[in-house]
Structure 1
């Protein structure tokens, strides 16, 4: 059975394997072990800490197969984006250029460097094994991605009231970005992948030092750069759809490097908060019907676990879980679990 749990230092070998396989580079999962180890240690400290408000905490989750103990994915939460340095994004503004004399009134879109996402909690570091990326295994991707929002909804003091996620923008087969070639390269003089690796998740001082401080008028950009503005990369469409199912919406921001979309949500409007319910665990019996798929989480702030299971009935009927699900969650009969409907039409349950 697949389940999500916090990463541990004991996972370093598997985490290093996934970090080296991830394309593009995951800022939250450095490829070099000497940089990866302190990130995992920070995550362990963050899960153990008693937190009253979000700060420099970083939460790293892994997707594990219970029988083989193999790790098949990672995802993470940055409690406060840009905690040490401002988080940079382009804000897509609509400016009015008008002349009464010429009877001209035009709305022109312009991109302005913004720090307004600084301090908000951020979902990042999503990587799932290639064997689980097709439609038949979409449930695994839902589990790995949406478990983060269940954790946030269950532990609101640890996070901001708004959460955002930065989606990868459009690139070609060679990894080149039309938007970067039209904008960023003019200022940095470097390839997209090189600056992407150096950016530290959009919170480095050199970004503000080098990128333009004045608005960029969108109509003045090349057509191919305009066309990809706010468009997700085809390889992230599954992750994009999962965010939409949780309730995220595209906002007025785009990534400063590849113009990928920024999705935002108020935590209390998310499916994990608004549709979640607490149920008492009981043993699943032959009288329990097939039921609908749910994300089921337990363990509180320090020992979080999440699985997908089929539940029937209402909250009063409890959560009838198989022995495998109870073992993965570390719960017994009578314990309380948080349940969120998956609302997925396709994909076999793990």
Structure 2
């Protein structure tokens, strides 16, 4: 369980990565640690609860690894949005030709599951026999198993997309930015505060992948 005294160490860990669920921002981290503490103490409803776990090197006070659990990702006031990849067949009798297109369909989940996220390991502790990353990861499952009433039966994890050296998402540039006018990082940060703009601005109709930039299609489904 992350403590207020861990904020500085978490900040140093966060600086090594580009993760919005572990931002390199001391004020934001302080709020997240406070929310986590309230969640552990049972002062937060499932829909609002978030938990931060840390693995500490007690000899030097470093946070070697961290992981998180969002008790429920997807409620009516803050749905979980995703794109479902489907296939659609189109055929012309007159021309005698047809195509099988890949399409994207916006999916809105207002009764989501528990999200496992925020698993990060300090670069200095990777590939070491202590396997602190495995400890940080499995700790979440042990806590969930001991506190089943706090979590959903469905567990999932959202993976970060590939980013360029400038922090740009080719998929977002080709699709999301055209409907929101925002770069990826700005939109992702805003979505953590209020994601209703996604439903308001994104099309309800199917989106044909063949209309997207080739760079966007190449990174679809890949993990950063």
Q: Hey, what does 1:217 align to over in structure 2?
A: 208
Larger fraction in helix: 2
Listed one character per residue, the Cα deviations across residues 197-220 of structure 1 (whole Å, up to 9, x for unaligned) are 33218x511222222322111122
1:61 match: secondary structure = strand
List alignment gaps of at least 5 residues for structure 1: 1-5, 234-350
Listed one character per residue, the Cα deviations across residues 112-139 of structure 1 (whole Å, up to 9, x for unaligned) are 1112375210012222211123x44682
Q: Hey, what does 1:200 align to over in structure 2?
A: 192
**What RMSD, in angstroms, separates the aligned Cα atoms of the two structures?**
2.6
Distance in structure 2 (CA, Å) of the matches to 1:36 and 1:49: 20
Which of 4, 10, 17 matches 1:23? 17
> Do structure 1's residue 86 and structure 2's residue 79 form an aligned pair?
yes
Stretch deviating more after TM superposition (150-159 or 59-68) = 150-159
Distance in structure 2 (CA, Å) of the matches to 1:46 and 1:165: 20
Give the alignment of 1:1-350 within 5 angstroms: 6-19=1-14, 21-27=15-21, 29-49=22-42, 54-83=46-75, 84-99=77-92, 104=97, 106-116=99-109, 118-133=111-126, 135-136=127-128, 139-200=131-192, 204-233=195-224
2:145 match: secondary structure = helix
Listed one character per residue, the Cα deviations across residues 56-110 of structure 1 (whole Å, up to 9, x for unaligned) are 2111111111322321222100000134411111111222334566555543221
TM-score in terms of structure 2 length: 0.86
1:174 match: secondary structure = coil
1:68 match: secondary structure = coil
By how many angstroms is 1:18 displaced?
A: 2.7
Distance in structure 2 (CA, Å) of the matches to 1:150 and 1:97: 49
1:207 match: secondary structure = helix
**Is the 8 Å Cα contact of residues 20 and 188 (structure 2) preserved in structure 1?**
no
Q: Which has the larger radius of gyration?
A: 1
Q: 1:136 to 1:102 in 2, by over 3 A?
A: farther
**Is the 8 Å Cα contact of residues 113 and 155 (structure 2) preserved in structure 1?**
yes
Q: 1:166 to 1:117 in 2, by over 3 A?
A: farther
Larger fraction in strand: 1
Q: 1:189 to 1:63 in 2, by over 3 A?
A: same
**Is the 8 Å Cα contact of residues 111 and 216 (structure 1) preserved in structure 2?**
yes
1:200 match: secondary structure = helix
TM-score in terms of structure 1 length: 0.57
List alignment gaps of at least 5 residues for structure 2: none
